[in-house]
Amino acid sequence: MIKKFFCQNEKEEIKNLKKEIEKLKKENKKLKFQNSFKDDVISAISHEFKNPVSIINGYIETILSSNLPKELEKKFLTKIHKNTLRLTGLIDKLYLITKIENKKLRIQKSVFRFDEAIKEVLAGFDENRIKTNLLPVKIKADKNLIQIVISNLISNALKYSKKDIEVNLNEKYFEVIDKGIGIDEKNLRLIKEKFFRIAKNDWDNSLGLGLYIVEKILKLHHTHLQIKSKVKKGSKFYFDITSLKDKEYLL
């Protein structure tokens, strides 16, 4: 009887021990993922921040050590301002990606005109290569997050294309079309992953987070990013807005 009691006790202890081991394994896996993400972020920051910081320092040293004409000084200050904006953009993306990874990104929906939201974003681009065809469409979504999506897709298209790009909105889709370098089939499967970039050039300070952020925001809105592309022909990035249209407000 006593032997039976001890056997049952041992079985219970072994069972509990196995549960604890499984729990520890899960925690260890979680910590490894978090450490891997932190390493990726640190590596990306050190590489991508280096270029604009070096440019800013170079211009500041020149201004401080030389008696420059006012016109040239203004030009240098404009360059400094442009690169500080690039750094701010990178920091904003890192902050957003941290919220996404920690599942703390919450959407605050409101009803607004999608076409007007697009125009607000376009006003921040100093570009004459953007051609638009925008139908008036009302949607219910998080306006700030949707504008981040719009901005990232347009920035991406301008970066990889020297020709005009198209920004279109109809009753079903929002799309950005470029005639740039295109994406080969193997990269199409990877392009929405964190820190992935098509071209790793010195001038590309994207961190490889733009499309990853786009996809995460769209998933929160029950839609997703779709891509069609041909190498050396260009790409189309688009998403279905049907789930964002609130019929009650479209009357």
pLDDT of residue 56: 84
pLDDT of residue 39: 61
Element (H or E) spanning 36, and its range?
helix 2-48
pLDDT of residue 8: 59
CATH number of domain containing 54: 1.10.287.130
pLDDT of residue 132: 92
Residues 21 and 141 in one domain: no
Of 50, 74, 101, which residue sits at a domain end?
A: 101
Residue 69 half-sphere exposure toward CB, CA atoms < 13 A: 3
Both tokens assigned to 133: 């065809």
Residues 32 and 140 in one domain: no
Residues 131 and 244 in one domain: yes
Cβ count near 162 (within 10 Å): 10
Residues 121 and 209 in one domain: yes
Confidence of residue 30 (pLDDT cuts 50, 70, 90): low
Beta pairing, strands 138-141 & 130-134 = unpaired
Cα 45 to Cα 104: distance, rounded to the nearest angstrom:
22
DSSP structure string for 138-174: EEEE-HHHHHHHHHHHHHHHHHT-SS-EEEEE-SSEE
Q: What does the mean pLDDT of the chain come to?
A: 77
* Number of domains, the chain: 2
Residues 126 and 233 in one domain: yes
- Among candidates 127, 102, 117, 135, which has minimal Cα distance to 30? 102
Residues 118 and 175 in one domain: yes
Lowest-confidence segment of 8-12, 154-158, 234-238 by average pLDDT: 8-12
CATH number of domain containing 224: 3.30.565.10
Share of the chain above pLDDT 70, in %: 68
pLDDT of residue 70: 86
Residues 139 and 86 in one domain: no
Helix, strand, or coil here: 235? strand
Of 77, 101, 125, which residue sits at a domain end?
A: 101
Backbone phi, then psi, for 112, in 5-degree steps? -155, 165
Of 67, 101, 135, which residue sits at a domain end?
A: 101
Q: What is the pLDDT of residues 176-223, one digit of tens each?
A: 999 888 877 776 675 655 555 555 443 344 556 778 888 889 999 999
Domain of residue 226 covers 110-249
Average pLDDT over residues 27-41: 55
